[in-house]
Amino acid sequence: MDTFALIVTIAVALFFTYTNGFHDSANAIATSVSTRALTPRAALAMAAVMNLAGAFLGSGVAKTVSEGLIETPKGSTGMGILFAALVGAIVWNLVTWYFGLPSSSSHALFGGLVGAALAGGTEVLWNGVVDKVIIPMFLSPVVGLIVGYLVMTAIMWLFRRSNPHKAKRGFRIAQTVSAAGMALGHGLQDAQKTMGVVVMALVISGHETYGDPIPVWVKIVCAIMLSLGTYAGGWRIMRTLGRKIIELDPPQGFAAETTGASIMFTTAFIFKAPISTTHVITSAIMGVGATKRVNAVRWGVAKNIVLGWFITMPAAALVAAAAFGLINLTVL
């Protein structure tokens, strides 16, 4: 029964990674597709490959997720907590995908972990939640907005005497590199989050102990599922990011992607903080768009997106708590 519970929990974790892939694929490629720098299929294929590569670049984010947010629960109750946390995250991913809202899969997972832990009587490490989740949740969009604005301003100044048509062609080519950087950063951040959950499941079942290196097979299956989900595409969210916030041109797309990728690499390698790729690229797009003129950004759409960010963690936590209650009544 314990082995079966472990297998089911890992399978659900991999399905979460798959939904993360198709939910968040828009983060990496929406700007390059909307500016016609890449065709949708070429962009998705590139993003899938770079997501796969990014998953092997580090393990700091995985360690934060597996050890820094909740105390490791024990036994069958612990496995039930992890299962419920994943259910909460998956449900919220599917709901926001259906409505085309670029919410954060990462914060859906964190909300699920907190909600399930509270329902299951496991201690939540609130210092870790605040330092590694809450503060970056508020800070990263602000940084994305400001840096996006500054990067676009610098590009406009540097190329102020260039031929506009030649400059746009050049930036369309450059976007293939910046979009690849975004996808690499997404793999670095988001594949590790699921790795952290799988490691926690292995610790609960006694197959691993904290401090051991992440098993290679865990990295491989998490990376593959994220890449498969990415290639499946997230067309609803892509339309929101690529068109509804602002009509992007190639220089703007390059600026937004460069900003997003830089922030993701910095937070993963230096702070080991699991930030939301959705928050970063969306705020970068807003900052880049504001250089054109402030009212060029469709702030009504932006407001709905930001509201979705704020309700993601509590909504996923509630679903996870309800899922644990059901599991506790029927299985545990």
pLDDT of residue 102: 66
pTM of the model: 0.86
Residue pLDDT, tens place only, 220-243: 999 899 888 887 766 666 665 555
Q: What is the per-residue pLDDT across 136-162, written as a single tens digit (0 to 9) for each?
A: 888 888 899 999 999 999 999 999 889
Dist CA 258 CA 233 (whole Å): 21
Give the residue from 58, 77, 34, 45 showing the smallest Cα distance to 230: 45
User: Any bridge partners for residue 70, and if so which?
Assistant: 124
pLDDT under 70 in the chain at which residues?
A: 1, 25-28, 102, 233-247, 294-302, 304-305, 332
Q: Under 8 Å CB-to-CB from 16, ≥6 apart: which residues?
A: 86, 89, 90, 93, 105, 109, 194, 197
> Contact, 51 vs 189, CB < 8 A?
no
